[in-house]
Chains A and B, each alone.
Chain A
Amino acid sequence: MNDDVRKQTGGYIGQSVPRREDRNLLLGQGEFVADIQLPNMVHAAFARSPLPHATIGDVDTEAARAVDGVCFVASGADVCAELPPINGMQVVTPQGWRDRVDTDILIPDQPLVPEDKVRYVGEAFALAVADSRYIAEDALELIEAELIPLPPLAEAETALATGAVLIHEHLGRNVAAFLHTKKGDGAAAMDACPNRLSRRFVHHRYAAMPMETRGVVAEYDGRTDTLTVWSSTQIVHWVRREISTALDMPEERIRCIAPDVGGGFGGKGHVYPEDILVAWLAKKLDRPVKWVEDRHEHILNAAHSRDNIYDVEIGFDDDGRILAVTSSFLVDSGAYTPVGAGIAGNSIAHMLGPYDIPHYETDCKIVLTNRTPNAPYRGAGRPEVGFAMERAVDLVANHLDLDPAKVRFRNMIPADAMPYEVGLTYRDGVPMVYDSGDYPEALNRALDALGGLDDIRARQKTALAEGKYLGLGIGCYVEGTGVGPFEGASVKIDSTGKIMVAAGACPQGQGHETVFAQFAADMWQVPIEDVFVTVADTGQVTQGYGTIASRSTVTASGAIKIASDTVQEKAFAIAANMLEAGETDLEMRDSGIGVKGVPDMHVTWRDIARAAKPGWDNQRPDGVEAGLESTSYYEPPTVTWAYAANVALVWIDPETGQIDIEKYVEVHDAGLLVNPSLADGQVKGGLVQGLGGGLLEELAYDDQGQLLTGSLADYLLPTASDVPPIEVVHMETPSPLNAFGVKGLGEGGAIAPPVVIANAVCDALRPFKAELNSTPVRWGDVANFFDGATA
């Protein structure tokens, strides 16, 4: 708890204020996209490819059209005749990054419904619209499409092989991007290292898997030529932009709203073809159209994530000081790469983590394959690279017979080295500087929460003597958060004196309405009930970015602050006029402005709002424009750096390989916590996702490119009984980069668990010199180490 910072505020920031979101949701009165019902509405469904790679021949929609209740059927050719593809680069990289990182990027555009070929199992090749979803699905079954199989590129290495077929012929290669960067002498430094280890680390494919699938409802009003689109998305402004481009309509004529969104975690963080197609259908058919993704579609078609192969070499001295790291990695991006080089860009920037390592070189290929497109999911490149790096650190320790905790302490950047220049460039184009924090302290506290390193090692020894296997796993990371380019917010004083805030953020359960209200209530010195917050509505904020990449608390609070400052400047001028006082004699207090030291001389926000109105009898001083509102944009200078130390104790069942986590601890620092209880919930929720990814969840493909885990009976999300005891400890080192000292934290929890589990299992199995260098950690593989062993 950082009391200094907290005292400067009116008291809401830093409190675990109850969530204003809860009441509707608890009463069953939330409104999710699937809940929207409009008169005369029809339902869309998509015919999806059963093949990973095929040329589309004849698509006969005749029989489907004839089904009673069907109002429209379209093939890919029908769609392509009217609509352009989505631009492959939904996110542009800034020049500053491209100047400092070597890149060669060729991102394919994504057809809304392809006419030439299908490129993954689940890609749509036709669609039907009918009176009900049931009938639309009946129609899909009658669409006869000739799909002529092409050789499947089931994984990245197949796609890179010489002579491999091309997924996007016009690109001339199956690589969407080559990236390369280095620090110090890079790979050249390896020769001078006394010890070197090389390993391959594989981080498997899994996904955000929110409990609410995606969904879109669109309504077109011909009289005003306006479209309203409700999408279960994290980025309403991007959706509006892409619909505007595709339908050639002004953005201002399109309103995109994300109503209650049932989780996103990145998976709803870019524009999908259906966002545009449903809008197009509503306009074309002049009827409201609804599409709600079913779970099978979601697993096949909503973005997957992770799926990286790392070849790493690590050079170190006899004391375990890491001198150089090189890595060469592949990102299996699937058939399209909607967020471009974002994930790999993160991986490159995060490999060195909390360590002071002088030499580093990395290159990456983002490989196009016949898998579902890969897009950021909670962590976005950090869990993958963290797995490789933190496994490597443990291997260094094993090699030298040192404690992995001690090797970490030996390499960590000490608190007194902050701010620390990393010597790399972040993907916002700015040289990386870790802004604040105490990394060794975080690890110390984490180990203490498990009883302390000595105690753990003693318990481990005793256990082993009894034929039991106990292991300690450690995983540390740093995370750039609150990345730009910007966020928008508008702040208005209503004529009732209430503070109206709208932000471009699109929450999916984080509690942003509550958090933004806390900020605004403190900025305006009003009771929190007097703040009204709107999010995720393009009708409320002209330009916005959205809620992806742990940014909203940082970026939206920045925008709310600028907008508030602008409005307050005017309010002070008007109040000065009303109170006939100099502005410097005024202060904000009691839901308004008053003259310092004179209790009676006070006007409320309501008085000021009325005085600010345009027209007769206003009380504005000369030169002050009417109205009390501002829309402002915050463009963060660069990222703030959150960090964490994760540790866990696990027991292994030698007969089954089953892994039982005794306790999992994360010590986390995201700067000032605006709402500690919500922050805690974010970290814990993220941790459980990370544990799911490390142990249970897998989007497994066979070598023919078929997905083997296409239902929630096979894609295993953690349940209440899979969650071990978890302790989260919050440190609060303020960021010097913004007014409130906040850092982002939405993604953090999900980053470390896979490597913590792998490290813990290997630690327990030290007697067998076990190495588990890929995820998920499988009981079967663990059990194998015991076979034939007499330990």
Chain B
Amino acid sequence: MKPALFSHLVPTTVQEALEMMGDHAAEARVLAGGQSLVPMMNFRLARPSVLVDLNRIPDLSYIDDRGDYLAVGAMTRERAIENSALVRDACPLVYDATLNIAHLPIRSRGTIGGSISNADPAAEYPATMLALDAVMIAKSGRGERSIPAAEFFEGVLSTTLNSDEILTEIRVPKAPADSGAAFVEICRRHGDFALAGVGAQVTMDGDSVAAVQLAACGVGPGPVRLTEAEAVLRDNSLTNEILSQAEQAASAQVDPDGDAHASAAYRRKLAGVMTKRAVQQAAGRAGGGV
């Protein structure tokens, strides 16, 4: 389990990195935290011949308050996000999701940009970004694009990033003042990729759901925006009846595969249960209660 040979390029500015990607697009991969890429390379399941290592570009690591949204540099470590009071206050779902990712030593290196670019169907960040309608900023020598989350994730480990593009920034809309958020998941062990997980951000208007954003991970080829469950919940109060309808709607909407850890049917069921629990928890945090 040793990686194959590669050339290691170490840009110190984004511009330099973009040039390198332009020169080597066909065979180059970006190296961010390496927490997904390096295991693949050690197994020789990935064997890029050029690695463009973003770890020495200080300009890619930041969490900025831009009024309506937080701008997070792609190389911001998961651990920095977990420790950011700004994220915790402004985008509590991102904070909650982060706590569910792996373990501290992995989060010390793993980056938000890496997780989103990697697009593991069971990963928390892609679902979170989808739920929150985040926008990805991608750059290449050819220019800059803003890609809404709904258009970013394509399938298992696949995104609409082009091979010469680098994800540089993620823009996450701030949570409404009276909202609550929760990322709830079930894993076979703490820190594993989820069998099913749901991120929820809920705004209550008295007893009734004024706004709700839901997305699931682990239950399809990519993150799933749970539009059906959202429709059930919107403008309704969170009775057992409504929650159970939302649960069923979520289960019906997802299309998971089975694997050695859980059957498709079980994941489908869990998608519903996690939806219910995430909504309940988020609403509780919104002060709406159930």
Contact = CB atoms under 8 A, between A and B. Distances in A.
Q: Do A and B bind each other?
A: yes
Contact of B188 (A137, A296, A655, A716): A716
Given A698-B260, A708-B260, A722 B266 contact: no
Interface stretch (B157-165, B189-197, B221-229, B282-290): B189-197
Contacts of B4: 137-138, 141
A696 interface: yes
A429 B243 CA distance: 65
A714 B43 contact: no
Given A708-B259, A708-B260, A780-B262, A718 B1 contact: no
Given A134-B2, A138-B5, A714-B260, A296 B43 contact: yes
A714 B1 CA distance: 16
Contact of A718 (B5, B189, B260, B273): B189
B190 A721 contact: yes
A137 B2 CA distance: 7
B184 to A, nearest CB: 11
Interface residues of B, number: 25
A296 B40 CA distance: 12
A716 B193 CA distance: 12
A294 B1 contact: yes
Contacts of B189: 696, 716, 718-719, 721-722
A658 B277 CA distance: 14
B270 interface: yes
Interface centre among A655, A658, A711 (most CB of B within 10 A): A655
A295 interface: yes
A658 B186 contact: yes
B44 A656 contact: no
A295 B2 CA distance: 11
Interface string A641-673: 000000000000001111000000000000000
A721 to B, nearest CB: 4
Given A138-B4, A138-B5, A656 B190 contact: no
Interface in B1-19: 1-5
Contact of B192 (A133, A141, A716, A780): A716
A785 interface: no
Contact of A780 (B3, B39, B191, B263): B263
Contacts of B43: 296, 711
Contacts of B191: 719
Nearest to B188: A716
A709 interface: yes
Interface string A719-733: 101100000000000
Interface in A338-395: none
B185 to A, nearest CB: 11
Q: Is the interface of B mostly helix, strand, loop or mixed?
A: loop
A537 to B, nearest CB: 30
Contacts of B273: 655-656
Given A656-B270, A698-B260, A714-B260, A296 B192 contact: no
A20 B8 CA distance: 45
B1 A296 contact: yes
Contacts of B266: 657, 779-780, 783
A700 interface: yes
Interface in B103-122: none
B47 to A, nearest CB: 9
Contacts of B192: 713, 716
A504 to B, nearest CB: 34
B269 interface: yes
Given A696-B188, A716-B188, A295 B44 contact: no
A711 B45 CA distance: 13
B71 to A, nearest CB: 32
Contact of B186 (A656, A714, A719, A722): A656
A296 B45 CA distance: 12
A138 B192 CA distance: 31
A68 to B, nearest CB: 11
Contacts of A718: 189
Nearest to B266: A780
Contact of B44 (A141, A711, A783): A141
Interface in A654-708: 655-658, 696, 698, 700, 708
Given A138-B5, A296-B1, A700 B188 contact: no
A714 B2 CA distance: 20
A698 B260 CA distance: 9
Interface centre among A698, A714, A721, A780 (most CB of B within 10 A): A780
A141 B262 CA distance: 33
A709 B186 contact: no
Interface string B237-277: 00000000000000000000001111101100110010000
Contacts of B262: 779-780
Contacts of B39: 713
Contacts of B193: 713
Interface string A148-167: 00000000000000000000
Given A137-B44, A698-B260, A709-B260, A295 B1 contact: yes
A679 B250 CA distance: 50
Given A296-B43, A698-B260, A783 B269 contact: yes
Interface centre among B2, B5, B265 (most CB of A within 10 A): B2
Contacts of B190: 719, 721-722
Contacts of A700: 260
Interface string B193-212: 10000000000000000000
Contacts of B3: 134
B100 to A, nearest CB: 13
Contacts of A714: 260-261
Contacts of B265: 780
A783 to B, nearest CB: 6
Nearest to B43: A296
Contacts of B259: 708
A716 B269 CA distance: 22
Contacts of B269: 783
A294 B2 CA distance: 9
Interface centre among B5, B39, B192, B266 (most CB of A within 10 A): B266
B222 to A, nearest CB: 19
A215 B5 CA distance: 24
Contact of B2 (A133, A657, A698, A716): A133
Nearest to B2: A134
Contacts of A696: 188-189
A210 to B, nearest CB: 17
Contacts of A657: 266
A718 B189 CA distance: 8
A711 B1 CA distance: 11
Nearest to A296: B1
17 contacts: A133-B2, A138-B4, A141-B4, A294-B1, A295-B1, A655-B273, A656-B273, A700-B260, A708-B259, A709-B260, A714-B261, A716-B192, A719-B190, A721-B190, A722-B189, A722-B190, A779-B266
Interface of B: 1-5, 39, 43-44, 186, 188-193, 259-263, 265-266, 269-270, 273
Given A137-B1, A658-B186, 13 more contacts: A134-B3, A137-B2, A141-B4, A294-B1, A296-B43, A708-B259, A711-B43, A713-B193, A714-B261, A716-B188, A718-B189, A719-B191, A722-B189
- The 10 A-B residue pairs with the shortest CB-CB distance, nearest first, are A780-B266, A294-B1, A708-B260, A700-B260, A134-B2, A721-B190, A655-B273, A137-B2, A709-B260, A722-B189
